[in-house]
Structure 1
Amino acid sequence: MSLFVAHTVQGSALVLLGIWHIINTIRSYLVKGPANFTVRFWYQVNIPQCGLKHLELVSILTFSILAILMQVLDFPHFHYAFKLDNFEHATMFIHLALFAGFSLSIELTGSLDLFSGFVGILASSVFSQELFLLHFHSTDHVGLEGHYHWLLQVIVLVSLVSVLAATFFPNSFNAALVLSISIIFQGFWFINMGFMLYIPDFVPEGCVMNLAKARGNQIPGAVTCGSKEAEFRARGLANLQFSWILSANLILAGIICLKLARKCNIRNRLEYERIQSKGADIAMTNEGFKQAR
């Protein structure tokens, strides 16, 4: 159950972060236009008299530190034990904490214009190390569990490529949009893995949860299929879930684009009408002044 909670909490955090980014990315693009758009790897909370404009970075840093402690202390047992897979997970969060910590420091010192490229490098390190540690994981994710983790690597690879593109092409709206969508996708996939691999009622037909042994370490939540046909069917179901979740992410991104574009058009039209009305008032005042003379 702890693995289910871990996957669900981490996945939910990624989904919220991705939605926050996609909304701000699209809004920034609509307001500034293609010529003035610049990719940002984090966004301020612009609420008057709120004092929480750095909430995103503070939240990421806090979440990362808590996750590192939970991995080192072997949640939910809360005792120090050198488990290689726990330290690999903690290392992923170390790079996330480095990104948030340095980005916050750069912002507070007012040197973002000088080190914006370095922020992109730090963001790239987050996904590159995640991909590296997932690919060379000390825990043998075999069978159905391994297939889910392989598909996760595909999503992380897309995130890595998009963040690199956003770093080298800081005016690319497409790179920023793909990055936001991939973060949401990764979050939903974490949640999906939590249900499909660590909740018995969701394990595919013909497969069961068990405590498999690999290299002397117990792997809770490993899924074993009773036959080749059952495993083939379970892998096919995972592939369908991958496509369905991707479709849902694209639908969500499209809805956000249309909603924000509509609001932007309404705002621009109202602003245009206000300027036109103000111009007409000035013209009438000038005409009355001429007649008075």
Structure 2
Amino acid sequence: MLEGHVFLGFGFFLIGLWHLFNHIKLHALYSNSYTSTLWFPFRISRHLELYFIMASCSLFIAMELFISPLHHHPLDPDGTIPSDHLHNFEHSSMALGFLVYATFAMVLDRKCIKAQHELTQLLGALAFVQEFLLIHLHSRDHTGVEGQYHLLLQLLILVSLVTTLMGIGLPKSFMVGFVRSVCIVFQGVWLMVIGLMLTTPGFVAKGCSIHFKEDPYLVKCSDDKALHRAVSLVNLQFSWLLIGVTIFAMSFYLIGVTTGRGYGEKVEYFSLRKEGHCSEEDSLKNDLESQSQKTSMQEQI
């Protein structure tokens, strides 16, 4: 659980930070023609971000089902999923959703599909939907301290989902991309916090303890007073992290805008709608379509 939460959380953090940097830079350089996208090309490799997502998701699935010493055999001899491995398959299914998103996002870009922006946003939204539902309907009984951590995680996933859907109808909105990027960063940080706080005895609230013999990830409190205090501490952690992420995001924005104005290099627009290998092909197709339309009109006359 510790390795999975930290690994997945760090991946979300990196992607969110990369998105935040690009949204701020593009908005500073191209405020009049800014377009919010769900992924951004690298200079060294156009699809490096998507390759990173696919590799990370594949490794996470392998970690959940095969690599961990406890999960060498994810299935029972009769081919069924054992009850104590259901949560591993649920976690793997979350990663599978983002793997599908990244794969088809790359295919749509390579094929130069006209509806690439809308379909990519839809695929991203579906990945967040699956993540939200699998955590909300988790096979583990998320109650008490563990339940509070995952309840707040669901809030972050929901904001990511809503802003991704809003990106379909509001592609020019900087705030949609900015809020989504900050939320993905926060989701990554919160996942890492969950992994550390629920598996490290020294981080457990006073009056509570981890029952390693019963369940290595189960935090129980001695009485209702200790449970109430532990849940309140989780809320405080979330609120303090929210303030910290907000300060970081606003500072990052101010630095990015100041730096962006001094770039002086409006050579390459990283937005998928402006920059890319499809532009020349699209213009050629448009010329051929216009010529065919003119020819048909002349024949009709």
Q: TM-score, with normalisation over the residues of structure 2?
A: 0.81
- The equivalent residue for 1:26 is 24
- The equivalent residue for 2:106 is 104
Which residues in structure 2 correspond to 1:196-207 (within 5 Å)? 196-207=197-208
What is the CA distance between 1:73 and its match in structure 2? 2.1
Q: Deviations over 1:191-239 (max 9, x none)?
A: 11112111011111111001476xxxxx421100111111111111110
Q: TM-score, with normalisation over the residues of structure 1?
A: 0.83
Structure 2 residue corresponding to 1:256, chosen from 252, 255, 259: 252
Unpaired stretches in structure 2, ≥5 consecutive residues: 75-80, 266-301
Q: Deviations over 1:244-272 (max 9, x none)?
A: 11111111111111111111233459xxx
Q: Deviations over 1:51-82 (max 9, x none)?
A: x2211000101111121222222623351223
Compared CA separation, residues 200 and 54, structure 1 to 2 (3 A):
same
Quote the Cα distance in structure 2 between the aligned partners of 1:88 and 1:268.
47
Structure with bigger gyration radius: 1
Which stretches of structure 1, 4 residues or more, deviate above 6 A after TM superposition?
none
Quote the Cα distance in structure 2 between the aligned partners of 1:220 and 1:189.
20
Letter in 1 for 2:41: Q
**Are the counterparts in 2 of residues 155 and 185 from structure 1 also a CA contact under 8 Å?**
yes
- The equivalent residue for 1:42 is 39
Quote the Cα distance in structure 2 between the aligned partners of 1:211 and 1:140.
16
Quote the Cα distance in structure 2 between the aligned partners of 1:209 and 1:127.
30
Which residues in structure 2 correspond to 1:85-234 (within 5 Å)? 85-111=87-113, 113-211=114-212, 219-234=215-230
What is the CA distance between 1:170 and its match in structure 2? 1.1
**Are the counterparts in 2 of residues 74 and 86 from structure 1 also a CA contact under 8 Å?**
no
Compared CA separation, residues 220 and 74, structure 1 to 2 (3 A):
farther
**Are the counterparts in 2 of residues 196 and 204 from structure 1 also a CA contact under 8 Å?**
no
Letter in 2 for 1:192: V
Count of aligned positions: 256
Q: The residue matched to 1:208 in structure 2 has which SS? A: strand
**Are the counterparts in 2 of residues 141 and 149 from structure 1 also a CA contact under 8 Å?**
yes
- The equivalent residue for 1:15 is 13
Q: The residue matched to 2:262 in structure 1 has which SS? A: helix
Instruction: Considering Cα pairs closer than 8 Å and 6+ residues apart, tell me whether 1 or 2 has the greater RCO.
Output: 2
Unpaired stretches in structure 1, ≥5 consecutive residues: 214-218, 270-293
Quote the Cα distance in structure 1 between the aligned partners of 2:125 and 2:41.
20
Quote the Cα distance in structure 2 between the aligned partners of 1:198 and 1:171.
42
Q: The residue matched to 2:73 in structure 1 has which SS? A: coil
